[in-house]
Structure 1
């Protein structure tokens, strides 16, 4: 795919965007999956082709299809959504490499704790008015104060899957 994304301001298309996570629990026997219902963001493609921007998740909007678990995840043991309502990923640099590959360097903030995060995504669709980036990366939840682990049930890294569709902002 030949990718050419126009310079300017881009707004996240909430209806065509998904951010989901999965994590093994119960000593690796069960995979918990969930998606954030509320995602927002914007970006800017600069003249040199690089991009910067921010993606924001409503921490309380995580839905794992289990109300009791979701309430626990929103609470102080995990996201502490009452005190830290947003999870943000600030893109410091996104650069196109090897055709449709996008190398992203940024800062992830969860529970008020910020850590550097980088990954390589893929542009799955690009036009003059829209661009879609697919990405998968892992996060060590302990680095963000999400260390609750009753009886050692939760181990390993959390996998984040994102499909982010941006639309060109009106001038």
Structure 2
């Protein structure tokens, strides 16, 4: 198969994260508005071209006040930097469906390389004859490296928000017509 375009199936996709709160629990969130462009030959993923573009203002942690703070200059600064992007620079097979997916992640105007552990499945045909592929990727990053340094000290020691952010990406694509 030659390199072809794949269209994001948003109803079967999600981008989430979690962060340690008060050093005792995890707060989970997601982004509700995102898109991805992919051109790939599933038989030759070394030549993939892919970019994920996230509307930073679509952050949703199920707490309006917290979401507002995340959109502020203390974190994503959505007025100045409306998008978070991840552009794939390398896909390396680890055997079977397991891959290392490396790319340039840009948050709040700061770009750093990030490597995620991934699984790339398919292609497979759905019951209506559409060809699909799926990508699952997970990893962590240090938010301070992207200039997201706001925090508050706790009376008992430690900080309110961990520097480590865990990412979870689940994307499904349909072969473009």
Q: Same fold (TM over 0.5)?
A: yes
Note the C-alpha offset of 1:6: 6.1
Aligned length in residues:
165
State the distance in 1 between where 2:44 and 2:75 align.
40
Other structure's SS at 1:157 match:
strand
Distance change (3 Å), C-alpha of 1:144 and 1:110 = same
The match for 1:130 is: 132
Structure with greater proportional strand content: 2
Shift of residue 125, structure 1, vs aligned partner: 4.7
- Asked if 1:34 is matched to 2:41, the reply is no
Query: Paired residue for 1:100, among 97, 100, 105?
Result: 97
Aligned to 1:161: 168
Q: CA RMSD in A?
A: 1.7
Per-residue deviation at 1:12? 1.6
Structure 2: any 5+ residue segments left out of the alignment? 126-130, 154-158
**Counterpart in 1 of 2:16?**
20
Scaled by the length of structure 2, the TM-score of the pair is 0.86
Q: Which residue of 1 aligns with 2:143?
A: 141
Tell me the equivalent position of 1:75.
Answer: 72
> Partners in 2 of 1:6 and 1:63 — Cα distance?
38
Check whether the contact 1:52–1:94 (CA below 8 A) recurs between aligned residues: no
Unpaired stretches in structure 1, ≥5 consecutive residues = none
Moved over 6 A (4+): none
Bigger Cα Rg: 2
TM-score (norm 1): 0.89
Aligned residue for 1:70, secondary structure, equals helix
